[in-house]
Amino acid sequence: MYTPHTPDERRAMLAAIGVERMEDLFADVPAKYRYPDLKLPPPMSEMEVTAEMQSLADANLTVQDFISFLGAGAYYHYVPAAVDHILRRGEFYTAYTPYQPEVSQGTLHAIFEFQSLVCALTGMEVANASLYDGATAVAEAVNMAYHVFRGKRPKAVLSPALHPQYLATVHTYYDASDREIVVPHEGDPTATPDALLDAVDDRTSLVMVQYPDFLGRVYDLSDLAEAVHARGALLGVAVNPLALGLLKPPGDFGADIVTAEGQPLGIPLSYGGPYLGLFATRKKYVRKMAGRIVGESVDTRGQRAYVLTLTAREQHIRRARATSNICTNNALMALAATVYLGLLGKDGLQQVAALNYHKAHYAAQRLAGLEGYELAFPEVPFFNEFTLKTPLPVAEINRRLLDYGILGGYDLSQDFPSLDRHMLIAVTEMNSKDEIDLLATALEAIAREAAA
Amino acid sequence: MSETTIREPLLVELSSPGRRGVRFPEADVPAAAVPEALRRTSLPLPELSEVDVVRHYTRLSHFNHAVDIDFYPLGSCTMKYNPKVNEDMARLPGFAHIHPLQPEETVQGALAVMYYLQEYLKEIVGMAGVSLQPAAGAHGELTGVLIMRAYHRSRGDTKRNKILVPDSAHGTNPASSAMSGMRVVEIPSDDRGNIDLAKLKAECDDTLVGLMITNPNTLGLFEEHIEEVVQAVHDAGGLVYGDGANLNALLGIARFGDMGFDVVHLNLHKTFSTPHGGGGPGSGPVAVAQHLVDFLPGPIVEVVDEDEENGPTYGLVMPRHSIGRVKAFYGHFGVMVRALTYILSLGGEGLRQVAEDAVLNANYLRVQLQDTYHIPYNRLCKHEFVAEGRWEDAPGVRALDISKRLMDFGFHPPTNYFPLIVHEALMIEPTETESKRTLDAFVAAMKQIAREARENPEVLHEAPHTTPFGRVDEVKAARELVLTWFDWPQQG
């Protein structure tokens, strides 16, 4: 199938090498380890494997089968058809990292565009060629800030309203190292950004918040930025990039680092990955930034051309002293985001962001009016996701919602015991008014039945 | 120097105000106002039609070399063919459109994909447990180092902080160790390309966390003293970490677990045929021996209920002493679907054929080229080998020139200047998916280049000649740092 040699060719090649049998090529492997009996199924034809995988796929219910209000870090959005058609070009997806610029200008051009678009969106000056996801992007922000101060400010102060899986990732990376990870009010994401400041001192390199935060709330970060800078630390902001079609970019608040989960920009849900880590910062910190960076230059024929630059930061050059260990990144997903933003452009991104905003606000207003339900933060602005207090445990409500064909919002008590009966509801351009109304009807009926 | 010419404009140069490539439906709900202080006032994105965008990226794609176009013998990267059916399977709506936080009973098919892949990978490397969460090889390395440290600490053994790494190792090995706060000590190689056993033993003390070792190593050589190496590390109370980047040579041939390794990461984007995507996404599952199973990052998939009639029910479970999660959600699921499709397509015998043909192809090239190019550790190799790109009688020619000249023959160059222990290294990994015809054409090109190096070195220095772009000025790029189109001087 994927190994083209005929038996005759194999014999000819073995003879050319000067050995008799294939086994002779493995004479250096100790005999007692050689040729284990692998208990794997027998090979399948393409017809059989397709049927097998199709049956596994059919065992899942998709967000197309349901009406979905589930978000919490991964969102169901419309992906224009052209995005995947570009991604399916073998010239892009079967290429390696563009180390040889003469035969990689397609990838390099696209990464330069990606970097430019990320800066346009975030209001920052430089961006890398991508990281794995939103969680590891925050971990790299902690690492970069540590290096900006050459380890003299070992503390990172993270908001308790960051995505709990991002916080967990940062803890895993650094808890046993010499970096101090401090999460004031950890476990209580209802804390507001100003509640972080008590923990910020002259040993703090980074203060990291999320915008909108995990509970969907959007705060003006101007005062926070000022206070953080007054203490000499950097401000990092993890964003939902789609929200930046409508909301003020972190660069305007004075953020020093912006990270994001790029999945909303044209990447399918795909059960959690592969997604896309975005990372942008100020130009003065570019030499401390993790990941690949493409720069503009010229080739020997006088053509404008692109090339990986500042590689002395990276592991293949600097090894143990590199800014990060990252090598493989999520380049193809960065291409997806680039094509997505290229297709939508200014008007399209504004329109889809506005649709998310309007529909979520319609939903919030509908649900807040239901008996037994109320908004957890009625005074705080939000984008496409908000927290609803419910009269019953969320798990119970969600079980009942499945009967209505509705995938309910995220049960916040899974991460925060104090947020028992709090549901995080995401509404995107994929949800029609009728669907929102059905959710309202269903929630009302579920509460009524429980009360009866 | 004349004016710089533009072969293909960038999005921003193709932009016309008011144009757009996608329209969304009009809102069916009332508009809500955005508070003034939070409202964005300008959004500097380009404006293009769908035709503009599709043609632009199609034209750009023509500037790339790729596995689908021709031979890509990039050492250490395993640029094998990426089967098309894998792409289709990952895009089945039942996989592409499921949310990672859906109730487990609604995603049993996805959990089964992960469970099967976990089981098959465990079997292939001979380990007791695996986590599919790490996003790439380096991420798997960091995970593995964290697991080793957690293991020592769980035993109250807190003074261990040293990781040993051979000088032939991938740069990610020391970088991952350093990132987790470990001290890295490099061990030299001996004159047969093995790790220097005496030097290794001298560093095996009670501060040792473990050894990170690639086997076959980056010279493409199977570590001849692997049993003694493992023994020495274990005798000092350390653990042995296997960098599975070169697993393609050992599929069905030998298993890390049987050789006594404690931890190993795999690269689904190398060994298991998932595409490299121009730099990613990868997937770097970490497999461990029994004594480390409880430390794996999670959640991982387990059978949570066994019902004779309806079959098993799968669930997401956090290992008991888990180091925690290393990213959001469960890993690169779409990559896992591709890898499982590949394993099911090949089965056990197909996987062994992969390793055999990969090693056959590498040795065939090595033997064909050994009289033309100096191969410093010239013995039976595994999936790759390293030649020197220099000759005494062609003093001005470097490995880079050879690489660039290869492009004129339609081939991607080998890996240059790695491993660091070979001068002017050309690291060649053909993979199993290349035919004898392709290999012979590559040999012919390499021999012609060797002749040109003596007779007409200019043709090498000025190469490539037939590619859409010539050599790119890296110094200018690093000096001027134009990293976005906002850095252009006349941006207005």
Residue B37 lies in a domain: no
Domain final position from A325, A340, A355: A340
Domain co-membership, A205 together with A128: yes
- pLDDT beyond 90 at A239: yes
Give residue-wise pLDDT tens across range B295-346: 999 999 999 999 888 889 999 999 999 999 999 999 999 999 999 999 999 9
Q: Which of A9, A298, A361 sits opposite B32 (nearest CB)?
A: A361
Domain co-membership, A446 together with A320: no
Give kind and range of the element (H or E) at residue A386.
strand A385-389
Mind telling me how many Å the CA of B457 is from chain A's nearest CA?
17
Count the domains in chain B. 2
A317 touches chain B (CB under 8 A): yes
Q: Which amino acid is at A266?
A: G
> Would you give the distance in Å from CA A120 to the centre of its chain?
18
The contacts found for A366-371 with CB under 8 angstroms, 24 or more apart, are A366/A436, A366/A437, A366/A439, A366/A440, A367/A425, A367/A439, A367/A440, A367/A443, A370/A440, A370/A443, A370/A444, A370/A447, A371/A444, A371/A447, A371/A448
Residue A13 lies in a domain: no
Residue B330 lies in a domain: yes
Domain co-membership, A259 together with A354: no
A267 touches chain B (CB under 8 A): no
- Candidates B99, B120, B268, B402: best to mutate against A (most CBs of A within 10 A) is B99
Domain co-membership, B307 together with B373: no
Per-residue exposure over B428-440, b if at least 16 CB sit within 10 Å of its own CB, e if not: bbbbbbbebebbe
Mind telling me how many Å the CA of A16 is from chain B's nearest CA?
7
Beta strand spans in B157-299 (E): 162-166, 183-187, 208-214, 239-244, 263-266, 286-288
The parent domain of residue B162 ranges over 85-346
Q: Tens digit of pLDDT per residue, chain B (492 long)?
A: 458 999 999 999 999 999 989 999 999 999 999 999 999 999 999 999 999 999 999 999 999 999 999 999 999 999 999 999 999 999 999 999 999 999 999 999 999 999 999 999 999 999 999 999 999 999 999 999 999 999 999 999 999 999 999 998 888 888 888 888 889 999 999 999 999 999 999 999 999 999 999 999 999 999 999 999 999 999 999 999 999 999 999 999 999 999 999 999 999 999 999 999 999 999 999 999 999 999 999 999 999 999 888 889 999 999 999 999 999 999 999 999 999 999 999 999 999 999 999 999 999 999 999 999 999 999 999 999 999 999 999 999 999 999 999 999 999 999 998 888 899 999 999 999 999 999 999 999 999 999 999 999 999 999 999 999 999 999 999 999 999 999 998 644
Residue A331 lies in a domain: yes
CA angle, B66 as apex, A302 and A329 as ends, to 5°? 90
Q: Which pLDDT score, from 0 to 100, does residue B147 have?
A: 97
Residue B25 lies in a domain: no
Mind telling me how many Å the CA of B224 is from chain A's nearest CA?
7
> Can you tell me the distance from the alpha carbon of A429 to that of A56, in angstroms, rounded to the nearest whole number?
29
A149 touches chain B (CB under 8 A): no
A62 touches chain B (CB under 8 A): yes
Q: Which pLDDT score, from 0 to 100, does residue B2 have?
A: 56
Residue A244 lies in a domain: yes
- Candidates A68, A222, A303, A328: best to mutate against B (most CBs of B within 10 A) is A328
Domain final position from A290, A311, A340: A340
Indicate which CATH number applies to the domain containing B183. Answer: 3.40.640.10
- Candidates B10, B14, B43, B48: best to mutate against A (most CBs of A within 10 A) is B43
Mind telling me how many Å the CA of A421 is from chain B's nearest CA?
17
Give residue-wise pLDDT tens across range A390-430: 999 999 999 999 999 999 999 999 999 999 999 999 999 99
Domain co-membership, B307 together with B386: no
Whether the CB-CB separation of A67 and A363 falls below 8 Å is answered with no
B48 touches chain A (CB under 8 A): yes
* DSSP structural state of residue B342: H
pTM: 0.98
Of the pLDDT bands very low, low, confident and very high (cuts 50, 70, 90), residue A132 is very high
Residue B14 lies in a domain: no
Count the domains in chain A. 2
Q: Do B138 and A328 touch (CB under 8 A)?
A: yes
Domain co-membership, B208 together with B288: yes
